[in-house]
Amino acid sequence: MQTNQTTVSEFILVGFMDHPELQIPLFIFFLLIYLITLVGNIGIIILTRIDARLHTPMYFFLRNLSIIDISLSTTIAPRLLTTFVIEHSTISFTGCTTQFFFFAIFVTTEGCLLAVMAYDRFTAIWNPLLYFVVMSKKLCFLLVIAAYTCGFASSTVQTIFIFTLNFCNSNIINHFFCDVPSMLQLSCSDTHIAHFVHFVISTAIALTTFLTVLISYIAIVIAILKISSAQGRYKAFSTCASHLITVTIFFGTIIFMYIRPGSNFSLDKDKIISVFYTLVISSLNPLIYSLRNKEVKDAFSRMLDKIILLK
Structure confidence at residue 112 (pLDDT): 95
The arithmetic mean of pLDDT across residues 229-239, rounded, is 72
Contacts of 297 (CB under 8 A, 6+ apart): 290, 291
Q: What angle do CA 135, 137, 139 make, to 5 degrees?
A: 60
Residue 239 — very low, low, confident or very high, per pLDDT cuts 50/70/90? low
CA 84 vs CA 10, 148, 276, 288: distances in Å: 18, 32, 19, 29
Which pLDDT band, with edges at 50, 70 and 90, does 249 fall under? confident
Residue 251 pLDDT: 84
pLDDT at 152: 97
SS (H, E, C) 252-280: HHHHHHHCCCHHHCCHHHHHHHHHHHHHH
Say if residue 2's pLDDT is above 50: no
- C-alpha to C-alpha distance for 180 and 198, rounded to whole angstroms: 8
Higher pLDDT: 253 or 163? It is 163
User: Alpha carbon of 95 to those of 15, 51, 84, 177, 302: distances in Å?
Assistant: 16, 39, 19, 11, 43
Residue 1 binned pLDDT confidence (cut-offs 50, 70, 90): very low
pLDDT tens-place string over residues 264-293? 555 667 788 888 888 988 988 888 877 667
Q: Which of 46-60, 212-226, 250-264, 279-293 has the lowest mean pLDDT?
A: 250-264
Query: Which tens digits make up the pLDDT trace of 171-217?
Result: 888 889 998 888 988 888 888 999 999 989 988 998 899 899 989 88
Q: Rounded to a whole number, what is the distance in angstroms from the first to the last CA of the chain?
A: 73
% of residues, the chain, pLDDT over 90: 41
Query: Range with the lowest mean pLDDT among 92-106, 146-160, 288-302?
Result: 288-302
User: What pLDDT score was predicted for residue 170?
Assistant: 82
DSSP string, 95-137: HHHHHHHHHHHHHHHHHHHHHHHHHHHHHHHH-GGGHHHHS-H
pLDDT of residue 71: 96
Q: Please write down the HEC assignment for all residues of 8-31.
A: CCEEEECCCCCCHHHHHHHHHHHH
Starting at the edge strand that comes first in sequence, how are the strands of the sheet with 10-13 ordered? 89-92, 10-13, 172-173
The 10 Å Cβ neighbour count of residue 234 is 12
User: Could you read off the pLDDT of 54-98 as tens digits, one per residue?
Assistant: 889 989 999 999 999 999 999 999 999 998 888 778 999 999 999
Q: What is the pLDDT of residues 19-29, one digit of tens each?
A: 677 788 989 99
Does residue 3 have a pLDDT over 70? no
For residue 90, which of 77, 102, 79 has the smallest C-alpha distance?
Answer: 79
Q: Which of 120-129, 218-227, 267-276 has the highest mean pLDDT?
A: 120-129
Cα 27 from Cα 35, distance rounded (Å): 12
* pLDDT at position 15 over 90: no
Query: 305: burial class by Cβ within 10 Å (0-12, 13-18, 19+)?
Result: exposed
Q: Long-range contact list for 218-225, CB < 8 A, 24+ apart?
A: 219/122, 219/126, 220/121, 220/122, 220/125, 220/126, 223/122, 223/125, 223/126, 224/125
Q: What contacts 24+ positions apart, CB below 8 Å, involve 181-189?
A: 181/262, 181/265, 181/267, 181/270, 182/267, 182/270, 183/96, 183/100, 184/262, 185/265, 185/267, 186/11, 188/2, 188/5, 189/165
